[in-house]
Structure 1
Amino acid sequence: MQRDEIDLRDRDPALKHRRFRSIWISDVHLGTPGCRADHLLDFLRHHESDYLYLVGDIVDGWQLKKSWYWKQSHNDVVQKVLRKARKGTRVIYIPGNHDEMARQFAGLDFGGIAIRMQAEHITADGKRLLVTHGDEFDGVIQYAKWLAYLGDSLYTLILQLNRGYNWCRMKLGLPYWSLSQYLKHKVKNAVNFISQFEKILADKARHLGYDGVICGHIHKPEIRDLDGTLYGNSGDWVESLSALVESADGTLSVVYWTHLLSDAPASLPEQEPVQENVCAS
């Protein structure tokens, strides 16, 4: 399917506002230079929903322990989510491995935000979905956490290199290119890990009697059917700038929100996130 990338650098005030029944976002990594908080803020400003799921790694406690990094845009994202909760959006926060410090508060509600280890979502057409970050199904996180920390440091380094590389590409008038995504999608072991991760989560949801699962953790937006079980991943706000959404009739899809132009049409009838991997739940 085609993916059009929408240029939001001018913050067009006429950008279309949309409403979904549910929105899932994950892996924002507030507190890191790689977080694209300004673009997430754009997304939240232009989209409303009855349910908003924060599916883990919203704040990056691992990096904040190493050095403090917190821009105004990061604070603005937090304030925007709190404002949505005050105005009636049902906000459910499921901490991940990078913000695991919040797991001690699971079962409690703060400022209208429900903190849960996992959640069950019932779609508009009656499907039961398990919502979980997914790190509990990652053997590296569970049994070799030191390796996970090492991998996180290497990932951060790659993102830093990627920012410098794309600054040069921008000056040359070239489109954005993600080194980290390229490596994940091309390196055999990474591809195998992603495939296994997706299968394990779908199998777990099926075993528990759910019709599907929605997760984050691996920064790969996706929605697909795995042997009759729906698998959805809301992606991230470091590389793909993506979310998973549910329309009023229960249809699930991945949407991308980006300020980068590559092969997008010269003009669009209405600027809005592009939906792909659409699946009727």
Structure 2
Amino acid sequence: MSDTPLRFRSIWISDIHLGTAGCQAGYLLDFLKHVEADHLYLVGDIIDGWALKRSWFWNQSHNDVIQKVLRKARKGTQVTYIPGNHDEGARQFLGLMFGDIRIADEVIHTTADGRRFLVLHGDKFDGVVQCARWLAIVGDRLYGITLRLNHWFNRARARLGLGYWSLSQYLKHKVKTAVNFVSDFEEAVAAEARERGLDGVICGHIHKAEMREIGGIVYCNDGDWVESLTALVELASGELKIVTWQKYYAEQAAQIAELVSPSPDLHGVTPA
């Protein structure tokens, strides 16, 4: 891939889960190396405090991700960190600055074309997290087991010369109750933006990258860096796109123009 960075107005990433074996820090570092933006939003679950309390896991690539973000902030990128449920400890610092990084519970982002988006992690719309924390923790542990299986599955694929593919994401999208939960979550988050008179919402939490209109609201989810390896980006025009980085990480000859070329769609939304 060319050393010329991809230039965006804004970038949203979430659900990195640093501190877990499932975190795809190598892919994220490659992404951060090849992009520049005026605004970078870290939309929750950046460091997985739940997992680190159970057992310590941290390697150099996790340090490198933190250092890369701090370096971007020092060089002028406006970095905003919005804690999620897995890094909820950071919520005690809301309204403060960590170096050059602002910490906030939620923000309103105005795109270049004048649309206003609510940006938040989204866990407060997850009834399991809010009302039955013990069930969320049990589910998180089962999810961790699935991700470990996913790790060995992809090691086998690599030996066969095949690219990354998320077994855990495939299984999740095949379970009817999970599919129904995702739909309910998306509707609830969109309803919040509608009640506030906004044009759209940008969130994370459910590890499912998506852009679609829900009742006149532009719903955007930036996905994650455990399964889908995705980010949401805003072009200079205000158009929003989902970038799936594994395609470009695995295929270093990919053309940069493929990412930034505009494509027509309603309200500037381009589906994944």
How far apart are 1:173 and its partner, in Å? 3.4
Alignment partner, residue 52 of structure 1 = 40
Structure 1's 38 and 161: CA in aligned 2 closer, same or farther, altered over 3 A? Answer: same
Which of 149, 153, 159 is the aligned partner of 1:171?
159
Cα distance, 1:56–1:269 mapped onto 2, change above 3 Å: closer
2:180 corresponds, among 192, 195, 215, to 192
Structure 2: distance between partners of 1:267 and 1:81: 25
After alignment, is 266-275 or 135-144 more displaced? 266-275
Residue 230 of structure 2 corresponds to which residue in structure 1?
242
1:182 pairs, out of 161, 165, 170, with 170
Q: Is the 8 A contact 2:248 2:254 kept in 1?
A: no
Aligned pair partner of 1:123 in 95, 111, 135? 111
- Distance of 2:100 and 2:56 partners within structure 1: 27
1:141 aligns with 2:129: yes
Q: Distance in 2 between matches of 1:76 and 1:53?
A: 18
Q: 1:272 to 1:157 in 2, by over 3 A?
A: farther
Q: Partner residue of 1:226?
A: 214
CA distance, structure 2, for counterparts of residue 269 and residue 85 of structure 1: 27
Structure with the larger RCO, 1 or 2 (CA within 8 Å, 6+ apart): 1
For 1:15-58, what per-residue CA distance to the aligned partner results, in whole angstroms no more than 9, with x for missing partners?
A: 44111000000000001111111111111111010000000000
The whole-number CA distance in structure 2 between the counterparts of 1:194 and 1:99 is: 21
2:124 paired with 1:132: no
**Residues 246 and 253, structure 1, Cα contact 8 Å, conserved in 2:** yes
Question: Does structure 1 retain, via aligned residues, the 8 Å contact 2:43–2:81?
Answer: yes
Report 1:1-281 matches (<5 A). 12=1, 14-258=2-246, 268-270=254-256, 280=268
1: CA distance, partners of 2:230 / 2:113: 24
5+ residue gaps, structure 2: none
| Secondary structure at 2:69 match in 1 | helix
Letter in 1 for 2:12: W
* C-alpha spacing 1:226/1:248, structure 2 compared with 1 (3 Å): same
**Unpaired segments of 5 or more residues in structure 1?**
1-11
Shift of 1:149: 0.4
Q: Percent identity?
A: 61
Provide the rounded CA distance (Å) in 1 between the counterparts of 2:29 and 2:138: 30
Higher helix share: 2
Query: In structure 1, how many angstroms separate the alpha carbons of the residues matched to 2:30 and 2:254?
Result: 18
TM value normalised by structure 2: 0.92
Give, in whole Å, the separation in 1 of the partners of 2:210 and 2:231. Answer: 10
The size of the alignment, in residue pairs, is: 267
Kindly indicate whether the alpha-carbon contact (under 8 Å) linking 1:257 and 1:274 is maintained by their aligned counterparts in 2: no
Give the RMSD, CA atoms, in angstroms.
2.2
TM-score normalized with structure 1 length:
0.89
Secondary structure in 1 matching 2:246 = coil
Contact 2:27 2:249 in 1 (8 A): no
